[in-house]
Structure 1
Amino acid sequence: MIFKRLRQAMGVGGPSVRTVLASPDCRPGGPLEGRVQVVGGDHPVEVSHLALGLVTRVGVESGDSGYDTTQEFGRRQVTGAFGLAPGQRYEVPFRFEVPWETPLTDLYGQHLPGLTMGLRAELEVARAVDQGDLDPVAVHPLPAQERLLEALRQLGFRFVGAAVERGHLYGVHQTLPFHQELEFLPAPRYARAVNQLEVTFVTDPHRTEVVLELDKRGGLLTEGGDGFGRFTVDHAAVDRTDWGAQLDAWLRRSLARRGPFS
């Protein structure tokens, strides 16, 4: 009996939890639907709560170096307290709203290498937490983001990578403690003046704020350095704009002066 109580205190023989997604594909601001399956262990327990959260890998700068860490976000509680008998199966359907600022995992029809994104269930029993496996999630661009990404490709920019970085962008309202940077090599028409272009989307239900960072080349008569700018795309008006022409105008304007551009 003492050994059995010790096992229970250590969480041995306790319940297990797993998530079953109807589909792993979603967009920022859209839903993920599925079921959370809980199976009782070898002794009765009182579950404090059942929760879901998205998990991604985030880069953290620390002095002259950096490291990667996992970050949970968008956490939602699915149930309150309930009792679970030994071996009992308990299933809860869910509809999980993906935060609007969630990083993208799939661009131009391909998964971004090295980018981790998944949904995980958490079960709390007597202040001990049991977490299920991470179910991979594929986050695809919103229509507004697709239009801008396609416009960059038509201008000749070449996508080379993406990173999720901890921190807030200056002057931009963020609800998450990190942001995603999409990296592009310049189109031939800009290559003499630009080393690289980084694009960040900060999205809410009505609009997408687009933050651009240009790594400018230096020369005999020009200074190198970074150029920054941002503009807002209303989701309802995205189809009424020639985004290739707009991006070209913004980029040329930014290269014609040394300070920030708009």
Structure 2
Amino acid sequence: MTPIPKPNVRMTPSASLGPGPSHPLAAAQPAEGSQIDLPGAREGRFVTPHPGVEVVLALGSNLGDRAGTVHAAVRALGDIDGFELTAVSPLVESAAVKPDGVDPDAPAYLNAVITGRYSGDPHTLLAAVNRVEADHGRERAERWGDRTLDIDIIAFGDQQLRDETLTIPHPRAAERDFVLAPWLAIDPDAVLPGGARVADALAAIGNNVVPFSAEPSSAEPPSAEPSSGAGR
């Protein structure tokens, strides 16, 4: 996998090189293909001097080359004007969630969470995120339908916003283990907007995500098919 070209990202001396002992991915070593590489550093907590607001983005894909799509999307997000990538989670796998609940017959998702600092406004970031989705074949034909790529803005600093295109913080983040578990993997002290600890929220709902294995899965289709605010 080609490394993500973010030359200014560096690791703090005290940063974890992987999941800490208390978070839900600690029991398993990262599988081959599960990590999104940054040159000169590994997964964990990253910091870089950059103005702007701290943002949390969640990525998911359940069609086509899921891992390749998520890797490429992280690179594209890192190239957004005014955005500086600060941390990338391991990839995890989760069951598809539809309006009526978990759909075991749908292709499984690969998920990741990234954090960064952004110097623009929420709607400008949303427009940039939607362009990345469109560049990877995202179509909005069905609510919570299968998709090549889904990117949600989970948090934008302490801002609260609700309009016809965007709700911040994400209204279902605290109910989604595929958001909370990878977020906790890069920040064991993470806090949801409003003050609840991510670790406590995950403990309350239970964690059913699993570390991603690069081995082929029967749930994964052999080829990509086309399929904002708040996604699933």
- TM over 0.5, yes or no? no
Q: Which has the larger radius of gyration?
A: 1
TM-score by length of 2: 0.32
> Which structure: greater strand fraction?
1
Higher relative contact order (CA 8 A, sep 6+): 2
